[in-house]
Amino acid sequence: MTRSNCGLVGKALVMGVARLSVEDLLFPGIAGVTVERVAAFRGELLVDALSTCPSRPCPDCGAVSRRVHSRYRRTLADCPIGGRPRLVRLTVRRFFCDTPTCLRRTFVEQVTGLTERHQQASAALRSWLRAIAAELGGRAGARLCRKLSVPAGRMRLLRLIHTPAVTEQAPRVLGVDEFAFRRGARYGTILVDIETRRPVDVLADRTSETLATWLREHPGAEVVYRDRASAYTRAVKEAAPNATEVADRWHLLRNLSLAVEKTCHEHRPCLQKYAEHTQRAEPRMPALEALPPTLIVDRVVRRHEEINRMVDVGYPLSEIARRLGLDRKTVRRYRDTSFDVLLASARDRRNVPLDRFKPYLQAEFAAGNTVATELYQQIRERGFRGGYSTLSRYVGTLRDGTAVPAPAPVPAPRKITGWIMRPRENLPPRETNALEQVRLACPDITNACDLARAFADLVRHRRGHLLGEWIRQAEGCDLRPIRSFASFLRQDIDAVTAGLTLSYSSGVVEGHVCRIKLLKRSMYGRASFALLRARILTPP
């Protein structure tokens, strides 16, 4: 581009900017305002302006008036410019209302888009503050306002939050879920329009009476998405009997995963036996006579005898725990764990960093490598960070024949449940092979895996017409958690079938529950329910 062309472009740009008036820059989109003077004073930008519209309508009767009663100046805070707070000193007029039947004799004009009655801030600044208050609340919003050079304290921000009006008619597709004000103590209920993805209302508790009252006052719901809470079921059947109840698919999969995890917990000994059987090196278990007579060993022997004697008599776990002063989990472990394993845990005070190297050490020791210094150097190269004395003590137990076998690698029940519940195509080869080993180790877990995957396919592909057959298969199996889950489904068969058939999802409701958690924690528990409800229902 030549120098002459550059000059032409520069002149065109300058001419284009010159066409914009000061009013267009300071009050964009607002008509009938003339700027008289702009000045900087004590770090603030002062704008003197006046209204030039020849007539204004009466706010009561709507009649247009041109007769001026008087003039006065209003001072308005406006959006900052260049990091400076802006004050607008606007000269406005008071008009006569000439309508004989109107009770208002005079009225003050309002500039559309700039002023509002009884407000000391412009409409644009109030829109800013309302958005900040809705997103951040009081204290956090006030901190942001200080950085933006906007004069606003926390109480002023909170006063700008007004709860939107709730429609008289309930949405056609209504989502209902609970949220915690204080986990385990107090809960509320959120109602969401599934189709528009907007919250409709917030209730102060999660009782069936409160929800039923709301549904009667706001009729029109045709489909109600809910979780498995019985209170919501009673409320819908009572107040909206013609509505179709739909069970949430996520909660169905969640309940199934818990049943599968309980099954894996109950059959963990099968996995332990299979892992121990497939281990390469198996040093012999120390006999009772070989164990040193420590207090821990004596305590294990005594507790094992007392607990098993009381179990044989027929005492329940809670009564045994109460009489012996133990936790129920401790009593259950003594009841379900073999005596040899309990003795091994009493004998071996393992150093945790050495645990994952014990299979390697046992294999090397069995192959003839019995020099502790060489073994120490080898495991150091493989990542061991403990001291030499830790290794030498363990090698000494290998020489004496009293070493406890290294714990067999058994996957946790939650990890097995994750392998089962995830789609087959999303499992990497390593986890697929591990799941196959688990299936080989325990036929009951294999049965639970097949049933869980069949139900997950029904949910993901929405094959609700096959639910009855799946329930019959699950109720006929020998797995107590799976049977309980199937019986629970049969009690709510219509809602579950609808959840496995209709295309709607309550994921939007769960998203709003997460948003409520953010809002609730940002308010530090010091705000009222009315303010929390206002922030939840205020659109972002």
Domain-located, residue 15? no
Are residue 106 and residue 54 in the same domain, yes or no? Answer: yes
Whether 448 contacts 456, CB under 8 Å = no
Pair (395, 416) in one structural domain = no
Cα atoms in the 13 Å half-sphere on the side-chain side of 453: 14
Tens digits of residue pLDDT in 248-265: 888 889 999 999 999 988
Answer left, alpha or beta for residue 289, where phi above 0 means left and psi between -120 and 50 means alpha.
Answer: alpha
Q: What was the pLDDT predicted at 453?
A: 92
The pLDDT tens digits for 384-411 are 878 888 888 888 888 887 776 665 667 8
- Helix-strand-coil split of the chain, %, nearest 5: 50, 15, 35
| 394 plus 287 within the same structural domain | yes
Residue 425 in domain: yes
Q: What is the pLDDT of residue 521?
A: 79
Answer whether residue 189 is part of any domain. yes
Whether 273 is in a domain gets the answer: no
pLDDT for residue 284: 42
360 and 307 in a single domain? The answer is yes
- Residue at 516 is within a domain: yes
Residue 335 and residue 366 in one domain: yes
- Same domain? 226 vs 318: no
In a domain, 463, yes or no: yes
H or E, element range at 193: strand 186-193
pLDDT at 141: 84
User: What pLDDT score was predicted for residue 540?
Assistant: 65
When divided into structural domains, the chain yields a total of: 5
CATH number where 178 lies = 3.30.420.10
Same domain? 38 vs 114: yes
Residue 83 maps to a domain: yes
* Same domain (yes/no): 110, 129: no
pTM of the predicted protein model:
0.61
Same domain for 142 and 212, yes or no, is no
What average pLDDT does the structure give for the chain? 83
Q: Are residues 236 and 260 in the same domain?
A: no
Does residue 453 lie in a domain region? yes
Claim to verify: residue 33 and residue 116 sit in the same structural domain: yes
State how far the alpha carbon of 304 is from the alpha carbons of 241, 332, 334, in Å.
57, 11, 6
Q: Which domain holds residue 143?
A: 124-161
Q: Are residues 421 and 484 in the same domain?
A: yes
Please tell me the predicted confidence (pLDDT) of residue 454: 92
Nearest alpha-carbon partner for 397 in 369, 378, 370: 370
Question: Tell me: the pLDDT tens digits for 51-74?
Answer: 888 899 999 898 999 999 999 999
* Owner of token pair 């009493």: 346
The residue with greater pLDDT, 472 or 529, is 472
CB 126 within 8 A of CB 116: yes
